Structure 1
Amino acid sequence: MQAPQDAGTPRFETPPDAHAPGVLILVTHLLGVGHLSRAGALARGLASAGYRVTLVSGGRPAPLVVRDGIEFVQLPSVHCVGVDFRTLLGADGMPITDETRQVRIDAILAALEACNPDAVITETYPFGRRQLASEFRALLEAARRRPKPAAILASIRDILNPPAKQSRAAEAEEILARYYDGVLVHGDGTVTPLSASWPTSRALERQLIYTGYIADTAPSAVAPVPSHEILVSGGGSAASLPLYRAAIEAADILDRPNPWRVLVGHGVPQGDFEALAAMAGPKVEVERARPDFPALLAGAALSVSQAGYNTMIDLGRAGVPAVVVPFEQGKEAEQRLRAERFHTLGLAGIVAEAELTPRRLAAEVAATLDRPRATIAFPGTGGVANSLRAIARASDGARAEAEAWSRLDAVLATRGEVRLWWRDDDAVAATPALDHLLDLARRHGVPLALAVIPAGVTPDLPQRLSREPLVDVLVHGYSHANHAPANRKKQELGYRPLPDMEAELRRGLARLRDLFGPRCLPVLVPPWNRIDPALIGVLPACGFSGLSAGGADPTDARDDLTVANIRFDPIDWKNGGGLIDRLTLLREFTQVLEIGKPLGILTHHLVHDAWIWTFMDQLLEKMKQHTNVRFIRAAELFG
């Protein structure tokens, strides 16, 4: 087993208030220290606002990251070399073992237990850090199992490295839907929306909370002193070595009197640091990165750097002219995208990494020095304050939702038999979405009434349903075509001569009976749950014995027609789809249980996103926990 020689014990700079709300942040930086710096700034902001904060770091120790007021837990560290993010190395430079992974997981879970948080924040995951998914998932599962409800939020920078495969974006959404209460995007959506670097669905967009940029507000040791320096800086890893070397040589090429100061990150090996110092001419001073970097930057004549998140914020706040060389090795696109966004604001000149030579860099530095300083204001850096407000809202929401689930349990526990039935609309073919629906029903042992559109049904659907004994087929209009005028709500069964609609319904019922046999019930489901009242009276003559629309069941029962409407629909149709607010849904579901009649639940598998699927999974799982809840088949409901 690899010894966790750099695993530190929790420490407090300032004893926290034991009764204050708690937040746990899990972050692992693999190359530079930007991720940890951003998480540390957020942690210090929370601590300053009175929170108990535990910051769990899985990357290499970073001495310049200030920990004032927070509990800091150092895991056995991991890092990577270059852009090989799949190979994680420990403090000894060797690939980490399964034993080390388990030590890290155990330490994370111990920190969770000790913190007893009101909110849990994962930095980058699930948008990245796939190689550490086991420890993030362990934290998420443990947080969800705790009696005390905790909000779970993802924390990401303004720009992500785009996923190599679309499936990875879908996987991230599934994880977000199952565990998370929101995504803190530490950027300005008007400057750089997440969609500029990551494929965002409408469902994901609804989860994003743009906080503004998080600026490190740790106090500087030295006040800004104006100078004529050209200040060169890089990240905390050896990835900046090409930039350092090019800058040292560019200083000799550039015919300007400005002195150059090269600040080398602490993650650069000592041998490389000494080689850089040996290269430096009389105009260049080479030293390790310093805690007073913001003060040096504010007084510099020009900055030369990469285009990491923290660096670009420092540049924007200082208002200093800048030349950036975005890190682009291994198809990394994040820094390039950020550099281009800031370039359009007039805040930085760009030298592509592939074009980086001492002469090219010297030319860009000279051109930038000669240009007038940009007067465009840097976008807002209120990321910490806005994040605090979002975390507080999410924590309140998590407690309210937990109470709503408990209220639902209490209502179910006091009821006699509770009868439910499940209808899903718009089926036409065997699709992946249908497979998801059928799998969900099968896992929970719940019968399903599938409303099939006769004119659109394909031959593969009867074959697919032949393996599903708990599925009944209902008749979903005829072609799901809208015949309402432009100023009216959509409706197929209306606004036409009655004989025409009767003929269509007869054809539709006959077609589905031919395809599905006795599995097809003579029950009509009007598209959009709307039907001309005059048509209801002739349904028995068309061969129908049942009708299912939306809203309350009619009070005037008909001997020749069984009516069972649906009362609960989780989709937010009024706002373009997606899941209605979960708290609202739980309260609504609890209320409609009081009706006493079989409660119809409606879904539409073809438009479900990960959040709708997750809610339905959780709702069905909750129903299974109560022995007095019974899902009934449509065949039983409609006789």
Structure 2
Amino acid sequence: MSRILIAVTHLLGAGHLTRAAALARAFAGAGHAVTLVSGGMPAALPRLDGIRLRQLPPVRIAGTAFTALLDPDGAPVGPDHLAARRAALLAALAEAEADAVITELFPFGRRVLAEEFEALVAAARAAAPRPLLLASVRDVLARPSRPDRIAATHARLSAYDAVLVHADPALLPLDASWPVDGAIRPLLRYTGYVDEAPAAVLPVPEIRAGIVVSGGSSAAGLPLQQAALGAARLVPEVSWRVLVGRAVPEADLAALRETAPGNVTVERARPDFRALLAGAALSVSQAGYNTVLDLLRSGCPALLVPFEAGHETEQRLRAETLAARGLARVLPEAELTAERLAEAVAALLAAPAGAPGLDRPPVALDGAARSVAIVEAMLAERTAALPSILPALDWSPLDEALARLAGAGRTLTLWWRDDDACAHTPALDRLLALSRRTGVPVALAAIPGRAAPSLAARLAAEDEIDCLVHGLIHENHAPAGKKAELGPHRPPALLEDEARRALALARARFGRPPLPVLVPPWNRIAPELPPALPGLGYRGFSAFGLRGPALPGLIQVNTHIDPVAWHAPGRGLVDPAVLLPRAAETIGQAAERDEPVGLLTHHLVQDAATWAFCAALLERLTRHPIVGIARAAALFAPKASPVSQTHVRVAGTPRDPPSAEDDPKGRKAPG
């Protein structure tokens, strides 16, 4: 059993809350402990048995003024109200002790509440162990008009492990409404549409052959409902039933009833809505997420009048997508009059039976169950990789080394390098996800001569990732013995030429300016080459082990901890009983020399045990108060100070591990 927290605030209708509650029920049904935190106006939510519902001090809006928050009495929300919400949200997180935190819509929306969501994200990232962070979004998003807001959303996503997209990409991929780039695409997990109802819906006899008009839960549907009354007068031979949302004031409901003609019944929205649709001749509705699911399940022919006030585009895109599939017809809101509505209704009623029916849609509607499966798999990947090793690890050598350094008043700077990147692969996605999850920036030593366009595309928006120059083509030129590309077996002039070409290729192929730092393949380099590197345009050099004497014009920052058992069958993880004491010794030596400690990983070859060990190691190191996290760009900056120019880090915040190519004893790994 895992602990799941879902945070949602609905402002206009109840669709966001309805979807979040459906997810909560799915997780609870699978045996997980679920906390549902709601920040909108209280609403009746069925079947919440076993789910902890935490209501924040509510907020709402008037009309489509999404940036003007109101309290339940309609007064503008002040700082004290927002502070109370933030405190209640963080208290719910502390109470839940969540293994996974899901923020509904944020960071793609709810910018007006960004401060409280960011506080939740920061608190989750500071927890130990850190929970998974996931965003939950519908099929269509409102794309901001300002590019800086899109950039801000993508920056916030750097803290997230995945985005649950509750859609079927065969019908409506997220790209249709949001600029999905190479940075966020690996985060997307399509779940299918979130719908809890069974496929079969029995019709309600009283509404057979009539027209059902609905407009969602809020007052946003009133223009459609008012136009429907006029249209009903023009189509008097058919019975109409107008359903009014629960959030619509009583006065508006009464006004509709008073002006309704005799062939119209006006009533509140009903729990048997799908059954009404199953027996209806036609549905006239907006195109909200949940309404469309009702139509898909019931098979009722549909006329969609998408909500477009306040420059909203979500419903229009969804409606036109269904229309293009022959699943509905669309009447734009700008054309909505009683006359145009009556014409469209008459045309649909006269159409051949089944057109444009929504029966048996080829759309994935099991999004709640798929969401649970996706999150369970991500949690299992975290915890199941080392079921027999992690609980038995003896961390005492590492803990004692850190305690000695703390007692001596020393600090430790940790950085992470990963070697051999060439292209966008699932292993690279896993590496970058681990970096995001832990907050430790990774420096990719990428191979210029083998860099595929997909590598640049994948790294395009990864602002925290630095690229280093990993040789030219990572080819062994040693005649015998230990492998080397830039070793002493070749003329110095040829080595200098290859180093120069490598830097030029890196600038052309990495899609971003690389750090002018050479990482020799197999961590081996001819002694004549490093002194020549500044003249070739390089500023830094990185290999493995404790660094040697300083070279004029060249910054050397090495890696020291390599968890891969390069010479064992199948490689795998070095025996932790050997690896941890060795790492503790190296850490002590490096700290005494004021040398940053580097973890070097190889994402293309690591097995599950090695990944899990690295995550556990980094979590332990980064929680320690004397350990700071350094980004390669800071370490290799001119006159860099590992203490003053390290990556921003809050003491005690969890991060993740790097790995090396050669072990401290000089045994070399294949690059």
| TM-score, structure 1 normalization | 0.67
Matches within 5 A, 1:55-454: 55-63=36-44, 65-147=46-128, 149-178=130-159, 180-217=160-197, 224-225=204-205, 227-254=208-235, 257-369=237-349, 370-371=351-352, 372=355, 373=357, 377-397=361-381, 412-415=398-401
In 1, the alpha carbon distance for the partners of 2:45 and 2:199 equals 12
SS in 1 for 2:347: helix
> Identity rate of aligned residues, in percent?
40
In 1, the alpha carbon distance for the partners of 2:344 and 2:384 equals 56
In 2, the alpha carbon distance for the partners of 1:72 and 1:113 equals 14
In 1, the alpha carbon distance for the partners of 2:627 and 2:95 equals 36
Alignment match, 2:465: none
Cα offset, 1:216, TM superposition: 3.6
- Output the amino acid matched with 1:135: E
In 2, the alpha carbon distance for the partners of 1:507 and 1:387 equals 47
SS in 2 for 1:323: strand
Cα offset, 1:125, TM superposition: 1.2
Distance 1:301 1:228, change over 3 A: same
In 1, the alpha carbon distance for the partners of 2:73 and 2:627 equals 55
Cα offset, 1:502, TM superposition: 5.3
- Output the amino acid matched with 2:255: A
Cα offset, 1:593, TM superposition: 4.4
In 2, the alpha carbon distance for the partners of 1:591 and 1:329 equals 65
Cα offset, 1:423, TM superposition: 10
Which sits farther off after the overlay, 590-599 or 322-331? 590-599
Answer whether contact 2:472 2:498 (CA < 8 A) is retained: no
- Output the amino acid matched with 2:262: P
Gaps of 5+ in 1: 1-19, 426-443, 454-474, 485-490, 510-522, 571-582, 604-614
Answer whether contact 1:151 1:398 (CA < 8 A) is retained: no
In 2, the alpha carbon distance for the partners of 1:44 and 1:507 equals 58
SS in 2 for 1:339: helix
SS in 1 for 2:183: helix
Answer whether contact 2:137 2:163 (CA < 8 A) is retained: yes
Alignment match, 1:7: none
Cα offset, 1:134, TM superposition: 2.5
In 2, the alpha carbon distance for the partners of 1:65 and 1:146 equals 32
Alignment match, 1:22: 3
How many residues are aligned here? 523
Answer whether contact 2:550 2:556 (CA < 8 A) is retained: no
- Output the amino acid matched with 2:158: A
SS in 2 for 1:202: coil
Which sits farther off after the overlay, 279-288 or 543-552? 543-552
Answer whether contact 2:412 2:627 (CA < 8 A) is retained: no
Answer whether contact 1:237 1:265 (CA < 8 A) is retained: yes
Alignment match, 1:46: 27
In 1, the alpha carbon distance for the partners of 2:525 and 2:125 equals 52
Cα offset, 1:524, TM superposition: 9.2
Cα offset, 1:413, TM superposition: 2.7
Matches within 5 A, 1:427-506: none
Answer whether contact 2:41 2:72 (CA < 8 A) is retained: yes
In 2, the alpha carbon distance for the partners of 1:92 and 1:82 equals 15
SS in 2 for 1:285: strand
Gaps of 5+ in 2: 406-410, 419-438, 449-467, 476-484, 504-514, 563-572, 591-596, 602-614, 642-671
SS in 1 for 2:53: strand
Which sits farther off after the overlay, 307-316 or 123-132? 123-132
In 1, the alpha carbon distance for the partners of 2:111 and 2:250 equals 31
In 2, the alpha carbon distance for the partners of 1:374 and 1:66 equals 28
Cα offset, 1:321, TM superposition: 0.6
- Output the amino acid matched with 2:178: W
Which sits farther off after the overlay, 140-149 or 192-201? 140-149
Cα offset, 1:105, TM superposition: 2.5
In 1, the alpha carbon distance for the partners of 2:52 and 2:299 equals 34
Cα offset, 1:635, TM superposition: 9.1
In 2, the alpha carbon distance for the partners of 1:301 and 1:118 equals 47
Cα offset, 1:219, TM superposition: 12
Matches within 5 A, 1:563-602: 567=559, 593=583, 596=586
Distance 1:123 1:534, change over 3 A: closer
SS in 2 for 1:304: strand
- Output the amino acid matched with 2:310: G
In 1, the alpha carbon distance for the partners of 2:282 and 2:543 equals 67
